[in-house]
Amino acid sequence: MNEREITETHRSDEVGEVNPADSEAIDQAAYWRANLRIMASLLLIWFGVSFGCGILFVDQLNEIQFFGWRLGFWFSQQGAIYVFVLLIFAYVMLMNRLDRRFGLMKED
Amino acid sequence: MSATLLTYGFVALTFGIYIAIALWSRSDSTNEFYVAGGGVHPIANGAATAADWMSAASFLSMAGIIAFEGADGARYLMGWTGGYVLLAFLLAPYLRRFGKFTVPDFVGDRYYSQTARLVAVLCVIFISFTYIAGQMRGVGIVFSRFLEVQIETGVVIGMGIVFFYAVLGGMKGITYTQVAQYCVLIFAYLVPAIYVSILLTGVPLPMLGFGATLADGSGVHLLDKLDGLTTQLGMAAFTEGRKSTVDMFFIVAALMAGTAGLPHVIVRFFTVPDMRAARVSAGYALVFIALLYTTAPAVAAFSRINLIQAVENASYADLPDWFGKWEDSGLLSWVDKNQDGRLQYRGGAAMNPAKPVFVEGRGASGERLVSNELTSNDNELYIDRDIIVLASPEIAQLPNWVVALMAAGGLAAALSTAAGLLLVISSAISHDLIKNTLAKNVTERQELNYARLSAAVAIFIAGLFGIYPPGFVAEVVAFAFGLAAASFFPAIVLGIFSKRVSKEGAIAGMLTGIVFTAGYIIYFKFIDPSANTSEFWWWGISPEGIGTLGMLLNFAVSLSVTRLTHAPPADVQAMVLMIRQPEKGD
């Protein structure tokens, strides 16, 4: 699966620049799959820091002291929010890279 | 200069700025009125979204809630920020690519159905009105506490200001005033927090300060000290949660999905140039929001510790000035249960009902008397949670100009949210109801007039809600999130991520989600409030978290009904594919 996708995106990458009209369908499906994969991995982190560290495992993490905070408490009141911000910018970066690879971004 | 005079000065100055911006940014077309012409810079939209989003509740009440609930307050911190991740990943870019004006636009087009559009319009109007009533009330309260005018007068002044820039400027006027309002509100929030952080811990950044050691030379961590004080006084330890894990989980999920599904937030992302800008703009919005949201828990911890140290075991005469002031406005009350002339602050409610009902006369120590029945516990203090933010500069003995800032900040938070909501209501009426449903042949000029007219009517109704608050408002506002989570969020996400979901599926899903969520909330809040305890809740889920279950039901029903019905027409499926990627060379 992975291998196929890599070759596919690779191919569409090349074809995409030569003749965009022909590869429209393949382009779109591969682009969408790549987007979903990026999204899924980032949402896993999103779930982990908030629902995981901040709620489900908060008591266990609270046994650990993190500077002046109990770690679970810190995640739920500070850490999760910082990670959320980073996640959105990571998504922006990865998607811009994807857009460039698929020839969807104006070169400047 | 006195605090009141300074407050007048700050408020007049900020109002002057808002009016100047309104005059400069008038809207002349529906495109400008609904989405500010679609050319707003992502950073400007980020700041506008942050002001749009952070309401009177975020500014005035959130730190207070956390101060008294401690660890459990995290549900708002995570819920109201985590939703932006969902918004940036699942909704904002695609809706921007879709490229029309409103949320019902998308629902109606994607589900090729006037019924779906109408369901969406009703949801938008209901959610926005419940939300806006609280904002106008907030405006009135800030006016009455800081400027000593009647709440009613305050609401009318607030209405006048919003009327001016929302009706004239539409989304364009609102966007740029919101940017200004963000600057005002974040400055007003951070300055006292930084001051207090330095006083208590010597660390200027409040986000770090509340994990630092106290500056009194004891070397004790602030939170350890607070945990010690709270347990010593017979209250729950500050950093220890009391809500069940299941309930926290469901509440946070409902707040996150609800945030991402709130129409006035979504529509802000229609104003940026393209889908890439929408993504990055959601990032900026969250940075601006996080600045306040990571400060709030610090303010909460600082205030709680300052409060305990200021009042515990003090005699009435020794209490600081602010105590009497807030006692006069009914937000504080002391009942000397053991007649020792000193205030004991303990766990539990001091009186029944919880809010003091004052009577004429003063007690032995000079405190205001109440007619409430006293409870059997040792707690002698009633304190309203809204005091925490409003009074924290006074409690920490900060200079007058800092105290004065709070009023301008609170007003900025309430007015910016109110304006965003008004615009959503007015566009739902003029665009979705009139232009797309009732009178399809109106000209753009007429539509624009309808938009202005419905904005004006909506402001008037919102003002009435502010002056004569229906008793249920406070109960309902939190549930706007549950309803948004159970209606819009699944319908929009499915509409983007599945080509197959049919109109029957989406409508059945939305109705199931709304009826289930509203039914559960209405039962526990209005029909049988005495049963509103965890032993009667389904699987221990409180009404606050039930939107999550409503959302799951919506997904399940939409997908099942879809399997039994025809696939959407080819042009709708093509539209779904179209919005999934940017235009070439965008």
Q: Band of the pLDDT at B134, cuts 50, 70, 90? A: confident
Residues of A within an 8 Å Cβ radius of B = 20, 28, 31-32, 35, 39, 42-43, 46, 50-51, 54-56, 58, 62, 66-70, 73-74, 76-78, 80-82, 84-85, 87-89, 91-92, 95-96, 99, 102-106
Domain assignment present for residue B585? The answer is no
8 Å CB contact of A81 and B78? yes
Q: Give residue A63's domain range.
A: 2-101
B586 part of a folded domain? no
Would you say residue B227 has pLDDT above 60?
yes
Do residues B101 and B234 both lie within one domain? yes
Give CA–CA dist A12/A25, Å, rounded: 10
B157-212 per-position pLDDT tens digit: 888 888 888 888 888 889 999 999 999 999 999 999 999 999 999 999 999 999 99
B367 and B416 belong to one structural domain: no
Rounded to the nearest angstrom, the gap between the alpha carbon of residue B307 and the centroid of all alpha carbons in its chain is 25
Instruction: State the pTM of this model.
Output: 0.90
Distance from CA of A106 to the nearest CA of B (A): 4
The yes-or-no verdict on residue A3 having pLDDT over 50 is no
Asked if residue B414 has pLDDT above 80, the reply is: yes
Cβ atoms B282, B42 nearer than 8 A: no
Interface test with B, best of A27, A43, A50, A108 (most B CBs within 10 A): A50
Within a 10 A sphere around the Cβ of B573, how many other Cβ atoms? Answer: 14
Instruction: Give the pLDDT of residue A4.
Output: 42
pLDDT recorded at residue B129 = 83
In a domain, B335, yes or no: yes
In this structure, the answer to whether residues B18 and B124 fall within a common structural domain is: yes
Q: Which of B114-118, B207-211, B225-229, B550-554 has the highest mean pLDDT?
A: B550-554
Question: Mind telling me how many Å the CA of A56 is from chain B's nearest CA?
Answer: 7
> Is there a single domain that holds both residue B253 and residue B147?
yes
Inside any domain, residue A107:
no
Please check whether residue A82 lies inside any domain of the structure.
yes
Asked if pLDDT for residue B477 goes beyond 70, the answer is no
Domain presence at residue B531: yes
Determine the distance in angstroms separating the CA of A6 from the nearest CA of chain B, rounded to an integer. 19
State the pLDDT at residue B170. Answer: 87
Instruction: Tell if the CB–CB gap between A78 and B249 is shorter than 8 Å.
Output: no
Average pLDDT, chain B: 89
The last residue of a domain, from among B344, B373, B395: B395
Give the separation between CA B515 and CA A95, rounded to whole angstroms.
38
A66, A73, A81: residue with CB nearest B290: A81
Q: Which of B34-43, B347-356, B363-372, B477-486 shows the lowest per-residue confidence on average (mean pLDDT)?
A: B477-486
CA B285 to centroid of chain Cα atoms: 15
Q: Looking at the domain assignment, is residue B584 inside a domain?
A: no
User: For position B546, what pLDDT does the model report?
Assistant: 92
**Among B480, B488, B482, CA closest to B510:** B488
Q: If you count them, how many residues does chain B have?
A: 586
Mean pLDDT, rounded, for B137-149 = 77
Q: Domain span at residue B317?
A: 309-395
What share of chain B has pLDDT > 70, as a percent?
98
pLDDT tens digits for B533-556? 888 889 989 888 999 999 999 999
- Residue B279: which CATH number? 1.20.1730.10
Q: What was the pLDDT predicted at A64?
A: 92
Domains in chain B: how many in total?
Answer: 2
Query: Greater confidence, A10 or B237?
Result: B237
Q: Name chain A contacts of B252, Cβ cutoff 8 Å.
A: 50-51, 54-55
**Predicted pLDDT at B533:** 81
Contact B421, B136 (CB under 8 A): no
Token pair belonging to B161 = 């200001």
* More confident of the two residues B330 and A44: A44
Helix, coil or strand: residue B383 = strand
Q: Furthest-apart CA pair in chain A: how many Å?
A: 60
Is B106 in contact with B278 (CB distance < 8 Å)? Answer: no
Residue A1 pLDDT > 60: no
- Which of B414, B415, B401 has its CA nearest to residue B10? B401
**B245 plus B376 within the same structural domain:** no
Give A31's contacts in chain B (Cβ within 8 Å). Answer: 580-581
Specify whether B386 is located in the same domain as B443. no
Q: Read off the pLDDT band of B580 (50, 70, 90).
A: very high
Among the listed residues B456, B444, B423, the one whose alpha carbon sits nearest the alpha carbon of residue B30: B444
Distance CA B66, CA B63 (A): 5
Q: How confident is the model at residue B325 (pLDDT cuts 50, 70, 90)?
A: confident
Q: Which helix (H) or strand (E) holds B359?
A: strand B358-362
Task: Provide the pLDDT for residue A86.
Answer: 97
| pLDDT score for B168 | 82
* Cα gap B51→B174, rounded to integer Å: 10
Q: Are residues B551 and B431 in the same domain?
A: yes
Question: What is the per-residue pLDDT across A67-106, written as a single tens digit (0 to 9) for each?
Answer: 999 999 999 999 999 999 999 999 999 999 999 888 887 6
User: Exposed e or buried b for every residue in A40-60, given b needs 16+ CB within 10 A?
Assistant: eebbebbebbbbbbbbbbbee
B253 in the same domain as B121: yes
Give residue A15's pLDDT.
38
Distance (Å) from the alpha carbon of A12 to chain B's nearest alpha carbon: 15
Helix (H) or strand (E) holding B337: none
Q: Looking at the structure, tell me whether residues B466 and B494 fall in a common domain.
A: yes
Say if residue B401's pLDDT is above 80. Answer: yes
pLDDT in tens, A37-58: 999 999 999 999 999 999 999 9
Q: Which of A22, A38, A49, A85 to mutate to test the interface with B (most CBs of B within 10 A)?
A: A85
The answer to whether B586 contacts A106, with C-beta atoms less than 8 Å apart, is: yes
Evaluate whether B238 touches B347 at the Cβ level (below 8 Å). no
Indicate if B298 and B326 belong to the same structural domain: no
Average pLDDT (B335-348) is 90
Q: How far apart are the first and last CA of chain B?
A: 55
Nearest-5° angle of CA B10, CA B15, CA B18?
130
pLDDT range class, residue A26, cuts 50, 70, 90: low
Residue A108 placed within a domain:
no
Q: How confident is the model at residue B296 (pLDDT cuts 50, 70, 90)?
A: very high
Verify whether the Cβ–Cβ distance B84 to A28 is below 8 Å: no
Name the pLDDT band for B78 (thresholds 50, 70, 90).
Answer: very high
Mutation target vs A (from B289, B581, B586; most A CBs, 10 A cutoff): B581
B564 shares its domain with B510: yes
pLDDT at A61: 94
ipTM reported for the complex surpasses 0.85: yes
Q: Which of B347, B367, B395 marks a domain boundary?
A: B395
Percent above pLDDT 90 for chain B = 46
Q: Choose the final residue of a domain: B372, B395, B418.
A: B395
Structural domain total, chain A: 1
**B226, B289: one domain:** yes
* Cβ <8 Å between B77 and A76: yes
Output the CA torsion B523→B528→B534→B537 (10° steps): -30
Nearest-Cα distance to chain B for A3, in Å, is 23
